[in-house]
Amino acid sequence: MSINYLNGYRLKRAILAGSESVILHKDYLNKINVFPVADGDTGTNMALTLKSIADGLYECDESTIDSVVRCAADSALTGSRGNSGSILAQFYQGISDGLAGRERADAKHFAGAAVLAKEYAYESMMEPKEGTILTVIRDWSTGIT
């Protein structure tokens, strides 16, 4: 069976699964966090931000993709921690703006939202640095377009 679109329910499940994986691996992410500052807190900051997103999604209406991404973006903005969390919040805001008003999204619409999310993430930093979560976002958005 192939999936030809994402709806609110599917996207919510995907975000929750991804969040759980980052939360489970936060210590490893802290260990490999050496750039741009070797402060060893990126895993913790990402985990806390994603926990905020997950908590928000559990209370969220999943009937449309728009409602799910708006909920994720709002939760990320209020619960972001550190630079990586702030970047992630802007990423979700870009996805939300890119999918605004949509009940569901096909690959073309989701890819367009991913490109917008990448732009939001980069524009949120005064001096964007490659080798950070920005590079992951850029490569991911390029890979799905």
Q: Which residue has tokens 């750039």?
A: 35
Please, what's the b/e burial string for 111-142 (b: 16 or more CB within 10 A of its CB; e: otherwise)? bebbbbbbbbbbebeeeeeeebbbeebbeebe
pLDDT at 72: 98
pLDDT at 137: 95
φ, ψ of residue 122 in degrees (nearest 5):
-65, -40
For the question of whether the overall pTM of this predicted structure is more than 0.85, the answer is yes
pLDDT at 145: 86
pLDDT per residue as tens, the chain (145 positions): 788 999 999 999 999 999 999 999 999 999 988 777 778 889 999 999 999 999 999 999 999 999 999 999 999 999 999 999 999 999 999 999 999 999 999 999 999 999 999 999 999 999 998 888 899 999 999 999 8
